[in-house]
Structure 1
Amino acid sequence: PAPQTKWRAAVKAAGGPVGRNMLEDLSLLTLDTLQKCIFSHDSHCQEQRSEYIAAILELSTLVVRRQQRLLHHTSWLYRLSADGRRFARACATVHSFTANVVQRRRRELNSLGHQAWLKGRQGRSMDFIDLLLLTKDEDGNTLSDEDISAEADTFMFEGHDTTASGLAWLLYNLAHHPHYQEQCRQEVRELLKGRDVEEIEWEDLSLLPFTTMCIKESLRLHPPITAVSRRCTEDIAMRDGRVIPKGTAHLGHDVPSVPIPPVYNPMRFSPENSQGRSPLAFIPFSAGPRNCIGQSFAMAEMKAVAALTLARFAIRPDPARPVRRRTELILRTEDGLWLQLEPLSGMP
């Protein structure tokens, strides 16, 4: 669920609409969600400090800072620096947590046997670690503990900041376009038809077409990942006669030859306007065999959080805190992404 308890408490304390840094709140939300879905672990990091979550956040900061310091590009120099030592400690914390979970599950699987282990999981959803433990290749070989840990760490590290950025910019765009925000809200209410918003089901997420259009348009206008690195292995002739030469690399959000209208218009992604469009015309999750491993997960999470949030809060721009974009590993802002939250009448 969205961090609504925290927001309601802030609104109550302020006695009215309250400004919140959406990037900060939603980053903790996505970290909390990932820990639950990957490890079946309740971190409660939205209410209290978690050593593991603190290490993930520190790694994100250190990676960006290393890119900005030329001397730190050399690995042995970086390892000797204060930042390098902090990076090593944070990595050890993250790797130790993941390895302990994987090893504990592996021992349980080996002790109980395959069938008994599966039977013991009936009645609850399997998490990411469970699925990886059961994965086999075409020759029947399972993944090693190290392979599973690497996949889990990748999903965790790459999945929190990107989804938080996507969610924050979605709410930013809906705050600046209240008619679209209200249309999303009515779509959620019509779907639920008297059910509490907390009762939204997995199947419901595919029945939010306009909300999905709003998410896609937000990803087009404010993509969390602003560049996709690909290199042409041969000359590519375009239909208009132009040639992309061999060796060309990089496709970015700000490429001058690709027109990107700065107007937020979800109708670009209506079924009528999407008909006949190349699947490579919109690639917020990259494309091809190396596309984003978590794109379905991210889209489902964004739909769920949007539904939970819009059903209970009106979102407005915060005029006291203008938003200035800043590109790091993801699309962030200089001083946070602040929006005003106002509880809707009759909100439970």
Structure 2
Amino acid sequence: SQDEDGNILSDEDIAAEADTFMFEGHDTTASGLAWLFYNLAGHPEYQERCRQEVRELLAGRDTEDLEWEDLSRLPFTTMCIKESLRLHPPVTAVSRRCTEDVALRDGRVIPKGVICLMSIYGTHHNPELWPDPEVGTCGSGDVPVAVVGTAGNCIGQSFAMAEMKVVTALTLSRFLLRRDPARPPPR
């Protein structure tokens, strides 16, 4: 196998890529789900809206009958997932090598070949972009998430989002989530 520049990949490189595809996504999805459930437990009104959305979608069908096509019919649940990912991104930063010179708005140029570090957490908590960045806005109807749909994004992102929707639908159809006030999350 070769990388995008035509360089031959070693067995170690191939093993690292396989590890990324098979295992790395599980940690980020699990982290995303843990924070989603924590956030929904703290906002019972959002939790109930998600639960009701799932019930209406299934309309008497068993949760085991959830279909791939059903996942696009969970807009409020999707907003809550995205907002939870904004508040608590499983990946807090990414780095990319510039493949060409990049002109910034202020006239400065980032030369081709420079590695740039982008703070996902910093973007998601920037008060210039979010009026109150520490407060969830699940019900606002406008929940963009930085870097979603951009070049160089996680190849498994669509699968992870589908997985989160399925797990959320199955969980909320069976359980009521509550926070344990005696055990706040570590800071």
TM-score range, shorter chain: 0.7 to 0.9
Is 1:192 the counterpart of 2:64? The answer is: no
Alignment correspondent of 2:19: 153
Counterpart selection for 2:45 from 146, 156, 179? 179
Which residue is 1:263 aligned to?
Answer: 135
Partner of residue 103, structure 2:
236
Aligned to 1:217: 83
> Which one has a bigger Cα radius of gyration?
1
CA deviation string 1:294-340 (max 9, x = no partner): 11110010000000001111101111111124xxxxxxxxxxxxxxx
Distance 1:204 1:148, change over 3 A: farther
Work out which structure has the larger RCO, using CA pairs closer than 8 Å and 6 or more positions apart in sequence: 2
Alpha-carbon distance in structure 1 between the residues aligned to 2:60 and 2:84: 29
RMSD, aligned α-carbons: 2.9
> Alignment length, in residue pairs?
169
Specify which of 179, 192, 208 is matched with residue 74 of structure 2.
Answer: 208
Counterpart AA for 1:258:
N
Q: CA deviation at 1:193?
A: 0.6
**So what's the TM-score if we normalise by structure 1?**
0.44
Between Structure 1 and Structure 2, which shows a larger proportion of helix residues? 1
Point out where structure 2 has 5 or more consecutive residues left out of the alignment: 1-10
- Distance in 1 (CA, whole Å) between partners of 2:125 and 2:170 is 38
Amino acid at match of 1:282: A
| Cα distance in 2 between the residues matched to 1:210 and 1:194 | 20
Pick closer, same or farther for the CA change 1:257–1:322 going to 2, 3 Å.
closer
Q: State the one-letter code of the partner of 1:262.
A: E
2:181 alignment partner in structure 1: 319
Q: Indicate the residue corresponding to 2:7 in structure 1.
A: none
Gaps of 5+ in 1: 1-144, 326-348
- Bigger CA drift: 294-303 or 241-250? 241-250
| Aligned-partner Cα distance in 2 for 1:225–1:202 | 26
- Hey, what does 2:170 align to over in structure 1? 308
Map of 1:126 onto structure 2: none
Which whole-Å CA distance do the structure 2 matches of 1:244 and 1:170 have between them? 39
- In structure 1, what is the Cα distance between the partners aligned to 2:39 and 2:52? 17
